[in-house]
């Protein structure tokens, strides 16, 4: 059974901002046992499955480094971990939130999420989420083990990323869709407006991604390969606009903030991505007219310029190949048009 949600995730939607840090030094006389068993025995309200999930999310470290669930603790090991200060409620409050549903049958639906909508309830966003809307319109959506409070979800996208999500309406559909995400057979293409113009017309970023050592609320690229999880993004230039470029990005894997991190690593952070440095002028002139133009674009598009354009998968029940597309949202389309007009006026 696949238990992890696959895909991007905005940490503001999670409990990470409301956690307590713990450190535990293993006694000299401790026998060597698996860390998941050790912590489950030592920590109240921290079951073995929760320990394993925390290890998978790299919340638990031994001597400053992430480990696997089968790691055997040794005398003198320093174990650090984080626990939520209060348990996350798992009861979802149904709310009559309008949903842009592109497709629906007895087993699944495909929804076009607007920018600014959080996908599921979590600290700071218990209401007004996509899941609250789903709970209102659909009864008894299934849940993946370990993801209670997130009915129907098999993947997610950032709060400020717009675009397509597939939602399961039956347990069988959820299991099959989760397996497709796990083996990376789902086709996902994003449109991104990025700073600068890549030297090539297309390329691939194959660089592991993990939590930043400086700030665990954000992610970072680890090209040396000693940390993080494998992440692969294929990109192609669709339009060059002198100081920014419109890119098509295809996900081979689905790590947290993957496109945002990979494009920053490649030297082309996404336009107005405040978390990863795209909310500053990264390319262009020093003329005040240009600075004013960019600031106006920031106001028109007050988020990272990223849209989940297409989604392809095999129907979990019929075996039919399904494919969906959605056009650019108005804010991204307007900014791209303004850049085109600006470039055309340049000598």
Q: Which residues are part of the catalytic machinery?
A: 158
Cα-based distances in Å from 261 to 96, 233, 252, 266, 332? 34, 10, 14, 9, 20
SS3 content of the chain, % helix, strand, coil (to 5): 25, 30, 50
For 323, the 3-state DSSP assignment is strand
Q: Which two tokens stand for residue 125?
A: 């966003």
| Closest listed residue to residue 339, CA positions, set 249, 242, 263 | 242
Displacement of CA 294 from its chain's centroid (Å): 27
Please report which residue ranges of 266-329 form alpha helices under DSSP H: 288-300
| Closest listed residue to residue 260, CA positions, set 220, 208, 314 | 220
Please report which residue ranges of the chain form alpha helices under DSSP H: 35-42, 48-56, 130-137, 171-182, 258-265, 288-300, 330-345
Q: Is 294 left (phi over 0), alpha (psi -120 to 50) or beta?
A: alpha
Cβ–Cβ contacts within 10 Å for residue 182, how many?
Answer: 15
User: How far is Cα 224 from Cα 237, in angstroms, rounded to an integer?
Assistant: 27
DSSP 166-222: EEESSHHHHHHHHHHHHTT-SEEEEEEEEES--SSSEEEEE--EEE-SS-TTSEEE-
Q: Token match 């299991």: residue? A: 175
Residue 15 near residue 89, CB atoms below 8 Å: no
């Amino acid at each position: 059974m696949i238990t992890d949600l696959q895909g991007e995730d905005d940490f503001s939607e999670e409990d990470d901002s409301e956690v307590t840090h713990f450190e535990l030094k293993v006694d000299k006389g401790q026998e060597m046992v698996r860390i998941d068993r050790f912590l489950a025995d030592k920590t109240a309200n921290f079951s073995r499955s929760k320990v394993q999930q925390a290890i998978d999310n790299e919340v638990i470290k031994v001597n400053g480094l992430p480990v696997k669930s089968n790691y055997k603790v040794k005398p003198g090991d320093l174990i650090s971990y984080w626990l939520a200060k209060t348990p996350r409620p798992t009861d979802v409050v149904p709310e009559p939130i309008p949903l842009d549903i592109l497709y629906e049958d007895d087993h699944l639906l495909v929804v076009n999420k607007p920018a600014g909508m959080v996908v599921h309830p979590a600290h700071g966003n218990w209401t007004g989420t996509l899941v609250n809307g789903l709970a209102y319109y659909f009864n008894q959506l299934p849940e993946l083990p370990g993801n209670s409070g997130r009915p129907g979800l098999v993947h997610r996208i950032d709060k400020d990323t717009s675009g397509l999500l597939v939602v399961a309406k039956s347990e069988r559909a959820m299991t099959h869709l989760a397996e497709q995400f796990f083996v990376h057979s789902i086709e996902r293409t994003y449109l991104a407006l990025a700073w600068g113009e890549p030297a090539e017309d297309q390329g691939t970023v194959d660089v592991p991604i993990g939590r930043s050592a400086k700030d665990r609320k954000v992610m970072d690229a680890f090209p040396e390969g000693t940390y993080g999880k494998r992440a692969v993004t294929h990109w192609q230039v669709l339009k060059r606009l002198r100081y920014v470029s419109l890119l098509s990005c295809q996900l081979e894997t689905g790590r947290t903030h993957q496109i945002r991190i990979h494009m920053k690593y490649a030297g082309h952070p996404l336009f107005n991505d405040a978390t990863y440095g795209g909310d500053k002028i990264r390319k262009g002139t020093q003329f005040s007219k240009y600075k004013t133009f960019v600031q106006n674009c920031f106001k028109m598009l007050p988020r990272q310029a990223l849209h989940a354009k297409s989604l392809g998968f095999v129907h979990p029940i019929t075996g039919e190949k399904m494919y969906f597309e959605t056009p650019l949202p108005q804010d991204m389309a307007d900014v791209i048009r303004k850049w085109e007009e600006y470039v055309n006026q340049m000598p």
